[in-house]
Structure 1
Amino acid sequence: MRLSRRDTLLFTGAVAAASALPRVSAPAIAAAPRTTDIDAILKARVDAGDAPGVVAMAATKDSVIYQGAFGVRAKGTSATMSLDTVFAIASMTKLLTSVAAMQLVERGKLTLDEPAARIDPTLDAPQVLDGFDAKGTPQLRPARKPITLRQLLTHTSGFSYQLWDANVLRYGKIARNDPALPRTPLMFDPDTRWAYGGSLDRVGHLVEIVSGQTLDRYFRDNILDPLGMRDTAYATTDAQRARQANLHIRKPDGTLAAQPLVKQAEPKEFSGGGGIKSTAPDYLTLLQAILNGGGLPGKRILRPQTVEGMSTNQIGDIAAGILRTTSPALSNDVDFFPGIRLRWGLAGMINIDPVREGRAAGSQTWAGLYNTYYWIDPASRIAGVIMMQILPFADRRALNVYRQFERGIYRGARPA
């Protein structure tokens, strides 16, 4: 990999440190789980109203071990879920952006630890919000260190989403009426805390600058076409829209209300943090490539050592993964694994401890706002994806579907 000397030392050191963490061994998967059991689980959850419809898939490095589609694309219609149903995957776009950035690190066009402002001047001289004075005026100061690509990929840059940060929400309301204030200050100095936010939007912009392509074209040329992911894109065709699942809102009484599909205009700008639509088979192909160390037979998108670095803890002892909502209509509080130590790699959240009845320690995961989820478990050699279209995020009943699916995969799999 063509890294600077500093990048090489830090990148290698992070891999070595992660390998020293205590890990619970997990059996490799040699054969498919009992699919009828998982079918029954998912069908029961749909029948119970946990989700109007769901598509779920899992794979080993070599083959798909489970696939199932249950329920309907829109409540109150006869349009049944199918494996090729198209979903808005929101922040699961971030995995594609992380892959793109690390491809460019491999090619020597990006570096992990040099100031990102050398490429994107909008990241130069960031301001940090140090709180509010007695009158409610934001108190800003210069950041103590520059922002790097590593910090952007690990959400330790200081950028934070207002959906899960009350200070961002408060600041935004004030800044709307004061054009002299910076639009998006940092909530803390880079490399001192973790906060989920718009860092991957900045990564997407870095990809566009150094590649000379729009993000959608870069994805298509370097990830989607090489892997055969034909149903993954920012803009859907009419044929894909005909297969798209509707968003559903969880009402206070627990029932779900379908929202109309809105035909969107062709996007002219592309977010590295969200906006992609995809299918479970497409996304599982990406997960399987990562599980395989960066490629499938005849199709390589990353080098194995790059994937290893992406999939290991890059933030040391900084805690990650717990979010407190500012808008319950859009998201519940988020703590997917209570009591389990969570960190972040260069492409997603990593559980330092094993999950009971599920994934092994060192697995990588993240999600999309509309309750789409994935995980990659290198120790057990399993990757899985499950897609629903529900708000709020981290909907408890949708999470129950996710957890029961994961447990079914691990419970039914036979050890090698």
Structure 2
Amino acid sequence: MSFDGSAVRAVLDGAVRKGAVHGVAALVVGRDGPLFHHAAGEADERTLFRNASMTKAVATTAALQLVEQGRLSLDATVESILPEFGRLPVLEGFDGDTPRLRPQASPATVRQLMTHTAGLGYFFTNQALLRYLALTGEPSPLSGDKRSLSVPLVHQPGTAWEYGVNTDWLGLIVEKLSGQSLGACLQQQVYGPLGMADSGFAPDAAQRERLLRVMQRQADGRLAPSVHELPAAPEWDAAGHGSYGTIHDYGRFVQAWLNDGAGLLAPATAQMALANHLGRIALPALITSAVPELSNDVPSLPVPQGWGLGFHLTLTDLPGMRSSGTADWAGVFNSYYWIDRTRGVGGILMTQVLPFFDMPVVETLMGFELAVYQQVGAVLPAA
């Protein structure tokens, strides 16, 4: 099968030429393997990227393996495995500068961790949590301090969708049940089986030399070196944001999910994970930024959407783009992926630019996806 990547190549090269990105890589994956790869600017074939929140789907896969093995139940309470979780209060507001805290009204479940409905938040997308950190001096997850996970919830469990450290707690469950660090568990259960040789939580010196530097969008649209960096020696393997790898490694993961979990999970488990698990809870129309240097506001597309176990879901066909049921997510350094099992194609676009949802990168992403589906219509029959 030949995939004419000239349109994709033009999108990436154009993005570098216009200053939208300093370095970028794209990979198109089919069920049988890679279809096309191109890197431009400061990125090349061997570049390593900070996966950031693209770590979440991989860590969730390890948890799903435990579910499949009967060692973990989706409806188990988090506190039944990690008692310290049940002691976390819920931040309801402030009385002056004093946080107003309440006990959890009902226990959060493993399923709620996987769907971001357990009540946990992120400081950079929740103003109340950001204020709590400022008032108390508690660290953020980007500090590398494990204590950062033990700040209050921002909703009662099971009442709202809120992006947060849910997957970090899920990673702690994986560690508790497997008896291994998350990095060791993923090496054994995901990275190793799929041949993701450059993926992990602690890149060595040679790998760090291959990391694409992080750049920050300035007010005038230019890119300048960023002061933001992941900690070199965090206290825990952060399932929510802590892994590194190449785009080719992540392509192997996307290919496995295109094939209903092949090499990782039974088809029934993968299909269950990619169903909508939100129930009556709605996704927000806007994820509002609390720290503009890290993220812009992220608006939701006005189309049906949901959340599976570890993945955002598009629940309608987008003309000229992805199919209904496509899974996707992204990382804060403006890296993105999608997994379209209906068409049998996945795409990954990786750069290292802040803040998240940077419009020049988002425009590059849309151009990439449109170019892919122009080709998919010609070369890949529907499943």
Q: Work out whether the TM-score is over 0.5.
A: yes
- CA separation of 1:34/1:265 partners in 2, compared to 1, >3 Å: closer, same or farther? closer
Cα separation, 2, equivalents of 1:227 and 1:90: 20
SS in 1 for 2:51: strand
Aligned-partner residue type, residue 355 of structure 1: L
Counterpart selection for 2:29 from 59, 64, 67:
59
Choose which of 315, 336, 340 in structure 2 pairs with 1:373: 336
Distance (whole Å) between structure 1 residues aligned to residue 230 and residue 153 of structure 2: 35
Equivalent position to 1:165, from 126, 129, 146: 126
1:282 match = 249
User: 5 Å matches for 1:86-235?
Assistant: 86-133=48-95, 135-176=96-137, 183-235=150-202
Of 366, 369, 381 in structure 2, the residue corresponding to residue 403 of structure 1 is: 366
Deviation per residue, 1:238-286 (Å, 9 max, x gap): 3222222111111111111135898964555211111111111000100
* Rg comparison, structure with higher value: 1
Paired residues of 1:33 and 1:410 also in contact (CA < 8 A): no
Q: Secondary structure at the match of 1:328?
A: coil
Structure 2 residue 36 is the aligned partner of structure 1 residue 69: no
TM superposition shift of 1:309: 1.3
> How many Å separate the matches in 2 of 1:187 and 1:280?
34
Shift of 1:380: 1.3
TM-score by length of structure 1 reads: 0.84
> Which stretch of structure 1 is more off in the superposition, 115-124 or 146-155?
115-124
- Paired with 1:206 and 1:54, the residues of 2 have a C-alpha distance of 34
Please state how far the C-alpha of 1:193 moved relative to its aligned partner.
0.6
- CA deviation after TM superposition for structure 1 residue 62, in Å: 1.2
Q: Which of the numbers 33, 39, 48 marks the counterpart of 2:9?
A: 39
Q: Name the counterpart of 2:326.
A: 363
SS state of the match for residue 367, structure 2?
helix
Q: Which amino acid aligns with 1:320?
A: L
Cα deviation code 1:125-159 (max 9, x no counterpart): 442222233x3433222222101100001000000
Is the partner of 1:54 in helix, strand or coil? Answer: strand
Write the deviation string for residues 93-142 of structure 1: whole angstroms up to 9, x where unpaired: 11111001111111122111021211101112442222233x34332222
Take 1:192 and 1:67, find their aligned partners in 2: how far apart are those partners? 42
Structure 1 range deviating more: 115-124 or 280-289: 115-124
Task: Name stretches of at least 5 consecutive residues in structure 1 with no aligned partner.
Answer: 1-30, 73-80
Mapped partners of 2:315, 2:260: distance in 1 = 20
**Quick check: 1:320–1:349 contact (8 Å CA) kept in 2?**
no
Unaligned runs of 5+ in 2: 139-148
Structure 2: distance between partners of 1:63 and 1:172: 45
- AA matched with 2:358: D
User: In the superposition, relative to structure 1, how do residues 407 and 377 fare at CA in structure 2: closer, same or farther (>3 Å)?
Assistant: same
| CA displacement at 1:410 relative to structure 2 | 0.2
Helix, strand or coil at the partner of 1:233: coil
The CA deviation string for residues 188-220 of structure 1, in whole angstroms up to 9 with x for no partner, is 121111000001110011111111001110011
Query: Identity of counterpart residues, as a percentage?
Result: 36
1:347 equivalent to 2:310? Answer yes
1:315 matched residue in structure 2: 278
Give the CA deviation at 1:52: 1.0
1:50 paired residue number: 20
- 2:294 is aligned with 1:333: no
Residue identity opposite 2:217 in structure 1: R
- TM-score normalised to structure 2 length: 0.91
Residue 146 of structure 2 corresponds to which residue in structure 1?
A: none
Partner secondary structure for residue 202 of structure 2: coil
> SS at 1:131's partner residue?
strand
Distance 1:165 1:343 in 2: 21
Once residues 227 and 126 of structure 2 are traced to their aligned partners in structure 1, the CA distance between those partners, rounded to angstroms, is 29
CA contact (8 A) 1:194 1:318 kept: yes
Match of 2:225 in 1: 258
| Alignment partners' CA distance in 2, 1:382 and 1:114 | 34
Question: What CA distance in whole angstroms lies between the structure 2 residues aligned with 1:265 and 1:352?
Answer: 38
Contact (CA 8 Å) 1:318, 1:343: kept in 2 or not? no
1:245 to 2:208 alignment: no
- Contact in 2 for aligned 1:33/1:409 (Cα 8 Å): no
**Shift of the alpha carbon at 1:290?**
1.0
